Amino acid sequence: MQKFYVTTPIYYVNDTPHIGHSYTTVLADVLTRFHKMIGYDTYFLTGTDEHGQKVQRAAEKRGVSPQTHVDEYSEHFKSLWEKMNISYNQFIRTTDPAHIRFVMEKLQELWDKGEIYPEEYEGWYSVGEERFFTEDELVDGKDPISGRPVEWLKEKNYFFRMGKYQERLIDYIRENPDWIVPDFRKNEVLGFLKQPLHDLCISRPKSRLSWGITLPFDNEYVTYVWFDALINYVSAVADKKYTDGSPIWPATYHLIGKDILTTHCVYWPTMLMALGIELPEHILAHGWWLVGDGSKMSKSGGTGVSPMEYMDKYGVDVFRYFLAREMVVGQDSVFSHEAFVRRVNGDLANDLGNVLNRVVHLSAVNFDGKLPAPKTPFSALETELRNAAMIVQKCVMEWIPQVKLSQVIEEVIGLARHVNRYLEQKAPWKLAKDESKKDELAATLYTAAEAVRLALSFLTPVMPQKTAEGLAMLGTSFDGIEDLKWGKLKGGELLQKGAPLFPRIEEEKTEAEKQPKPAQNKPLSAEDIPGMLELRAAKITRVKDHPDAQSLYVLELDAGDAGKRTVCSGLKNSYAASELQDKMVILFANLKAAALRGVMSHGMLLAGENDGKAVLIAPPENAEAGDRALFKGIPAGESRELKIKDFDKIQLKVKQGVVYTGEVPLEINGGPVTCEAPDNSLVH
Ligand code: MSP
């Protein structure tokens, strides 16, 4: 029997669960159920990461002991998973005594082997991120991740000899090209490994942090939270077996968000190498769920969309469906109300739900409340539908082990659409009026019902409850892999007519929405654009290669009050990274955010052209990051998001080194925005 051991990250208990946590966990659950469905023996591990500074601080803030805090917060996760119908095998907590023993044992083992050594260490320490940074990792002298101040710290610590595994790890990644999925994340890790790999500080003095696992060889220290956390994947299953008695480790898939790529693809494998433990088979990094404006979902409240709200309002299964279908594994996705309604009303109500209702209703009315048995030999249309269903079955079997989840779901919904088309072609409501066509009517309804049964069966991992209800309407159920073949329905099944399985979400219009559309939606003319372009001076604070596109840089920008931004820019052929670092540029800040090969770009840099190369336009000397550029005499217009096609309604040109639209120069604080490109060069 084939095996599937899947893990989610163990979640910090400094925060209540949000959509990000829900997604990874639903993904793991759906994949586990799919694997089970196609005959794998499965094991699904999730849990909570309960040590470390973040947790200690969250407890302090609430005025409770860390233990009380973690007990309560891990319950929040557990009860959410129960509500979301998450069928994990095990929920590990890093405060479990068995885990603590295991971690101490492994630390001792590494110490005995000389893989851990003590050293005096000095460096920039970020309290927020609980780690040291090197001088060149700092951005503007601050923590490059949280942007918070850092402090210079000197102390003895214990180090894991991570650096010595660098070459072995690089070789391993190269020899196992599908170890890190998707491919561009693998390249990101290989990129990271081009720099010398340092040893890893794995301790914290108890004077600074007491909430952790004590180092077995030094009572004054606790272990670094990541060291403790990563080991959960092995400690959890140390004494567990598959049904045939074989060990559960190694994991088939570690599912992680892209934020924790390095810890999982660098720290973790080197730790395993040092311990002589087999590496996991795959590490899959998924993208971020973004809110409507393209920014990362807030972790704690604020703009965070609460998963609870959507679940309570529209039901757990529909929510699971949305998460599983909407995100192409690896890419970022936007969580918006509109996208949610589109999926529910389109895929579920119009396609799948509608076809089920039609079949149940027509059969029940014409065949005494039962499903008819097929009477006539099948025609080409029936064969076509049956073949289509079998192709979807093949996709499920082949693609699920490759984690192509949204693609599988798309195929299944495609099958439901095919049945709808088939019904349009056969028009059973007309056949029903002609007594001589009764057999053809029976064959039609039977064929449609069997195809819908399969569509529902394929989706049982995604929507366990709803699909069971839908199958019950057809007088059947899903009982195992044999049911994925054509022909389970025999005719004579007792049908259950009832309310639609997937009710449409009918939007209630607010009073404001009933009013004529506000100016927000009026089409823009060329005259509107110059005032509405939000062009701002910004400083490039960081230049990285795009992980998956040769011509692009991924730039971090500081746009003052307008915030920090990530922008993908096709400047590779025009500028070396070092020329861009710290450069002042002009950012088109209210351009609709877009994903460029998997990286969200929040705006665009403007440049003229010289000899086929881009020449960035530049703010005047006195401009500061965030200052707005305006066309002389044109006040700032309505503030709203623009599209490229809006920008293209006007032309920006260079004249004697200054950027103009028509005869009007672009300025910041009275000084011109300039560009070292020849006259008449277009700025875009
Ligand atoms: N405790 C560590 C993980 C240790 S694993 C050995 C941690 N925990 S966390 O609570 O911050 O959760 C991180 C995970 O939550 C991410 O890797 C990702 O799986 C998920 N997400 C958090 N926010 C997210 C989004 N906005 N979108 C999608 N998933 C994200 O890091």
Residue 159 in this model has a pLDDT that exceeds 50? yes
Burial of 546 (0-12, 13-18, 19+ CB in 10 A): buried
Nearest to 505 by CA among 662, 278, 338: 338
Q: Ligand 1, atom 9: nearest CA belongs to which residue?
A: 11
| Distance separating alpha carbons of residues 294 and 304, to the nearest angstrom | 12
Q: What would the mean pLDDT of 604-618 be, rounded to a whole number?
A: 93
Q: What would the mean pLDDT of 158-166 be, rounded to a whole number?
A: 97
Gap from CA of 9 to ligand 1 centroid (Å): 6
329 lines ligand 1 (CB under 6 A): no
Burial of 219 (0-12, 13-18, 19+ CB in 10 A): exposed
623 lines ligand 1 (CB under 6 A): no
Closest ligand 1 atom, CA of 49?
1
Closest ligand 1 atom, CA of 9?
5
Residue 366 in this model has a pLDDT that exceeds 60? yes
Percent of the chain with pLDDT over 90: 73
Q: What would the mean pLDDT of 67-73 be, rounded to a whole number?
A: 96
Gap from CA of 392 to ligand 1 centroid (Å): 32
Q: What would the mean pLDDT of 342-353 be, rounded to a whole number?
A: 95
Domains of the chain and any CATH numbers: 3-286 (3.40.50.620), 331-484 (1.10.730.10), 523-683 (2.40.50.140)
Question: Residue 308: pLDDT band by 50, 70, 90 thresholds?
Answer: low
288 lines ligand 1 (CB under 6 A): yes
Beta strands in 447-583 (DSSP E): 535-545, 553-558, 564-569
| Tokens 């780690």, residue located | 131
Which residues are within 8 A (CB) of 323 and not within 5 positions of it... i.e. 6 or more apart? 19, 22, 23, 26, 27
Gap from CA of 225 to ligand 1 centroid (Å): 14
335 lines ligand 1 (CB under 6 A): no
Residue 292 in this model has a pLDDT that exceeds 70? no
| Distance separating alpha carbons of residues 475 and 492, to the nearest angstrom | 9
| Distance separating alpha carbons of residues 468 and 447, to the nearest angstrom | 20
| Tokens 């998460």, residue located | 323
Query: Rounded to whole angstroms, what are the CA distances from 177 to 186, 187, 550?
Result: 8, 10, 19
- Contact between 524 and 650 under an 8 Å Cβ cutoff? The reply is no
Closest ligand 1 atom, CA of 268?
6
Question: Residue 295: pLDDT band by 50, 70, 90 thresholds?
Answer: low
Residue 303 in this model has a pLDDT that exceeds 80? no
Gap from CA of 537 to ligand 1 centroid (Å): 33
259 lines ligand 1 (CB under 6 A): yes
| DSSP letters for 5-74 | EEE-PPEESSS---HHHHHHHHHHHHHHHHHHHTT-EEEEEEEEE--SHHHHHHHHHHTS-HHHHHHHHH
Q: Ligand 1, atom 22: nearest CA belongs to which residue?
A: 20
| Distance separating alpha carbons of residues 19 and 26, to the nearest angstrom | 10
| 14 or 675, higher pLDDT | 675
Gap from CA of 64 to ligand 1 centroid (Å): 24
Gap from CA of 50 to ligand 1 centroid (Å): 14
Percent of the chain with pLDDT over 70: 95
Question: Residue 17: pLDDT band by 50, 70, 90 thresholds?
Answer: confident
Question: Residue 509: pLDDT band by 50, 70, 90 thresholds?
Answer: low
Torsion of CA 415, 416, 422, 427, to 10 degrees: 170
Gap from CA of 248 to ligand 1 centroid (Å): 24
| Distance separating alpha carbons of residues 545 and 257, to the nearest angstrom | 20
Q: Are strands 664-668 and 671-672 parallel, antiparallel or unpaired?
A: antiparallel
- Contact between 571 and 615 under an 8 Å Cβ cutoff? The reply is no
Q: pTM for the full model?
A: 0.75
Gap from CA of 8 to ligand 1 centroid (Å): 9
| Distance separating alpha carbons of residues 454 and 389, to the nearest angstrom | 7
The radius of gyration computed from the CA coordinates of the chain, to the nearest angstrom, equals 29
What is the DSSP secondary structure assignment for residue 377, as one 8-state letter?
P
Nearest to 582 by CA among 640, 522, 541: 541
Site to substitute for ligand 1 among 7, 8, 15, 24, most atoms within 8 A of C-beta: 24
End-to-end alpha carbon distance in the chain: 58
389 lines ligand 1 (CB under 6 A): no
Per-residue model confidence (pLDDT) at position 299: 46
672 lines ligand 1 (CB under 6 A): no
Q: Give the 3-state secondary structure of residue 311.
A: helix
Q: How many CB atoms lie within 10 A of CB 16?
A: 16
| 94 or 578, higher pLDDT | 94
Tokens of 405: 């989840």
The highest-confidence range among 153-157, 194-198, 648-652, by mean pLDDT, is: 194-198
77 lines ligand 1 (CB under 6 A): no
| 439 or 525, higher pLDDT | 439
CA angle 407, 409, 411 (to 5 degrees): 70
Q: What would the mean pLDDT of 281-297 be, rounded to a whole number?
A: 80
Gap from CA of 619 to ligand 1 centroid (Å): 39
Cα maximum dimension of the chain: 93
Q: What would the mean pLDDT of 354-382 be, rounded to a whole number?
A: 92
Which residues are within 8 A (CB) of 31 and not within 5 positions of it... i.e. 6 or more apart? 4, 6, 253, 255, 400, 403, 405, 461
Residue 124 belongs to what H/E stretch? strand 116-126
State the average pLDDT for the chain.
Answer: 92
Task: Classify residue 310 as left (phi > 0), alpha (psi -120 to 50) or beta.
Answer: alpha
307 lines ligand 1 (CB under 6 A): no
Q: How many CB atoms lie within 10 A of CB 588?
A: 19
Gap from CA of 13 to ligand 1 centroid (Å): 11
Tokens of 170: 């690089």
Please report which residue ranges of 474-515 form alpha helices under DSSP H. Answer: 511-514
What are residue 665's phi and psi, to 5 degrees? -80, 155
Q: Ligand 1, atom 8: nearest CA belongs to which residue?
A: 11
Q: Are strands 90-93 and 41-49 parallel, antiparallel or unpaired?
A: parallel
Residue 131 in this model has a pLDDT that exceeds 80? no
Which residues are within 8 A (CB) of 579 and not within 5 positions of it... i.e. 6 or more apart? none
Residue 301 in this model has a pLDDT that exceeds 70? no
Tokens of 626: 């965030």
